[in-house]
Amino acid sequence: MERRIAHLTGIRRQQRQQLIQPLTAYFEIYDEADDDAVVEKRWRLWERPEQSGAVLLSSVFHFEGANDADEAGAIAAAQASIQQVIHYGLDTWNYHVLPAGATTFNFALRHPDAAVREPDDSVSLGLSNPPRASAAAAQAAIRETIEHLYTHYSAEGFHLVEHILLRPQRGPDTDPTAPEPYPGDALLARPSANPDTASEIDPYSYQVSLIFPSGYARDFSPAASNPEARSPVPPHRFRDRELRRHVERIVQQSCPAHLRPLIYWVDRHVSEQSLPFPEPIPETATDISFEQFEAIYFAWLNTQLLPGVAAEAAIAARNQMILAMNALSAAPPPL
């Protein structure tokens, strides 16, 4: 079912994996080596983690901050350029094969808007180096770069949760002499469509949830000054309302008739640094970021798939997963 939904919605990711990768996993921002005292940064995209393998793409220009010593500003400018590369680097028509010599070729990634490229139409977001021996080799390198960016930075995909796997398996301890009585497993709580009951009587049977990143980010930190402000982030396609309707229709058509699918579009967090993951979910949580959900989801999934997991660890992971699902149910619907 997951592969069918992915295929029919244009999601090229065919395996279950973490959708959100930190920029530093494959991108490196480094100092430009020159003789002046100005802080200047460049970036490059590596083939493998920890800055290893081949360099697939690198910045054409260096980036500076508001003044000569503004390192944070230079890094922010480089990060903004990387976000443009992630945005436009997923489409083959934004790449151009260029002659690098008499018999060699490389390729450039360009912004699709000609107005942005003015006054010099040759200005590129990124450039491949070293040159390839033929135009065909350069085209193959373009396909490799697109696949690399899509796999690690498109954020396109979803996570599926079978509710029956979250059913309670242990009640509260009844031994009054226990030093720390166990209060019992956390319970799924979904708002009920029946006005006579606050929550569904059975939120476990014949139900699955599909959690998609929304294509927006906002500040989930407790000290957020404007927690409702949203900014566009990958996956950029998922902000389109028509695409969302198509996805929801495909999910309905792809699910077996006995299953009720629930779909969530969840915002990402605005920063990779300001909110630690995974972070325990309190029982009163009414909102959760996609990154936090994803961390909890894979921690729980590992207890389901890996043999020999300690019972206490499995219980803790399941309880956190239930609280995360409850937070999704309690969160306001996306715009």
Q: Which of 125, 153, 181 is the last residue of a domain?
A: 153
The verdict on 43 and 165 lying in the same domain is no
The verdict on 146 and 295 lying in the same domain is no
Give the per-residue pLDDT at 3: 93
The verdict on 302 and 281 lying in the same domain is yes
Number of domains in the chain: 2
The verdict on 165 and 287 lying in the same domain is yes
Q: Please write the tens of the pLDDT for every residue from 311-334.
A: 889 999 999 999 999 999 987 766
Asked whether residue 222 is assigned to any structural domain, the reply reads yes
The verdict on 200 and 236 lying in the same domain is yes
Give the per-residue pLDDT at 36: 79
Rounded distance between C-alpha atoms, residue 222 and residue 225, angstroms: 9
Asked whether residue 6 is assigned to any structural domain, the reply reads no
Give the per-residue pLDDT at 191: 81
Taking the C-alpha atoms of 198, 254, 299 and 86 in order, what is their torsion angle to the nearest 10 degrees? -110
Give the per-residue pLDDT at 34: 78
Rounded distance between C-alpha atoms, residue 262 and residue 252, angstroms: 9
Q: Which of 135, 153, 171 is the last residue of a domain?
A: 153
149's enclosing H/E stretch is helix 135-153
Give the per-residue pLDDT at 190: 85
Residue 268 pairs in a beta bridge with: 217
Asked whether residue 4 is assigned to any structural domain, the reply reads no
Asked whether residue 7 is assigned to any structural domain, the reply reads no
Give the per-residue pLDDT at 107: 95
Q: Which domain holds residue 58?
A: 21-153
The verdict on 240 and 125 lying in the same domain is no
The verdict on 168 and 308 lying in the same domain is yes
The verdict on 33 and 88 lying in the same domain is yes
The verdict on 309 and 166 lying in the same domain is yes
Residue 217 pairs in a beta bridge with: 231, 268
Give the per-residue pLDDT at 128: 92
Q: What CATH number is associated with residue 104?
A: 2.30.29.80
Residues in the chain, pLDDT under 70: 114-122, 174-176, 178, 272-279, 333-335
Rounded distance between C-alpha atoms, residue 112 and residue 318, angstroms: 45
Give the per-residue pLDDT at 228: 85
The verdict on 183 and 311 lying in the same domain is yes
Asked whether residue 224 is assigned to any structural domain, the reply reads yes
Q: Both tokens of residue 18? A: 């973490």
| Residue 26 contacts residue 49 (beta carbons within 8 Å) | yes
The verdict on 165 and 183 lying in the same domain is yes
Q: Please write the tens of the pLDDT for every residue from 131-145.
A: 999 999 999 999 999
Helices (H), the chain: 2-8, 71-88, 114-117, 135-153, 241-254, 290-305, 311-330
SS3 state at 112: coil
